[in-house]
Amino acid sequence: MENVSNVDRIESIKSLQSTLRKLENALSQMSHNGKNTTLVKKRLKAVNIGLAMLENVWNLRNHHFFKEDIEEAHDVLTSLFPSMEKIYAKSKAGSPQRTLLERRIKALKFAVQAIAGSTGNKQ
C-alpha cells in the first residue's frame, strides 16, 4: 500500500467520497419513497469504513470502527467487484462511465487491501 502514487491516492479518496455521496442520495430517495434500504445502508457503511481505512493507512487518520464492522465491510466491498467488472466490460473504451468505473474499482481494491492489512487477513 505504501507504493501507491499520490495521484492514485487522491483519485481513490475522491472516488470513494463520490460513491458515499451517491449512496447517501440513494438512501434519502429510497427512504422518502418507502423502499427497502437495507442493502444501500450496508453498502454505505462499507464504503465509509473503506474510506476511513484508506485515510488511516495513507494519511494516518484514526478511525472509530470495530473489528467486526471492518470485517463485514471487507465482505461487502469484495462482493461488489463481480457486478462492477461486468458493467466495466460492457462500457465503451474512453467513455466517462468507463473512467469512473476504473477509478471506483481501483479505489475499492485499495480499500479492501487496507482493510485486509488492518485485520491481518490475506488478500
- Give the pLDDT score at 69: 96
- Give the pLDDT score at 120: 57
CA geometry: angle 12, 15, 19, nearest 5 deg: 140
Rg of the chain over all Cα atoms, to the nearest angstrom: 15
Q: Are 46 and 79 in contact (CB under 8 A)?
A: no
- Give the pLDDT score at 92: 96
Block residue for cell numbers 487522491 = 10
Q: How many CA atoms lie within 13 A of 5 on its CB side?
A: 4
Q: Each residue of 83-113: pLDDT tens digit? A: 999 999 999 999 999 999 999 999 999 999 9
Q: Where are the domains of the chain?
A: 6-119
CATH class of 6-119: mainly alpha
Q: How far apart are CA 63 and CA 44, in angstroms?
A: 16
Q: How many CB atoms lie within 10 A of CB 10?
A: 11
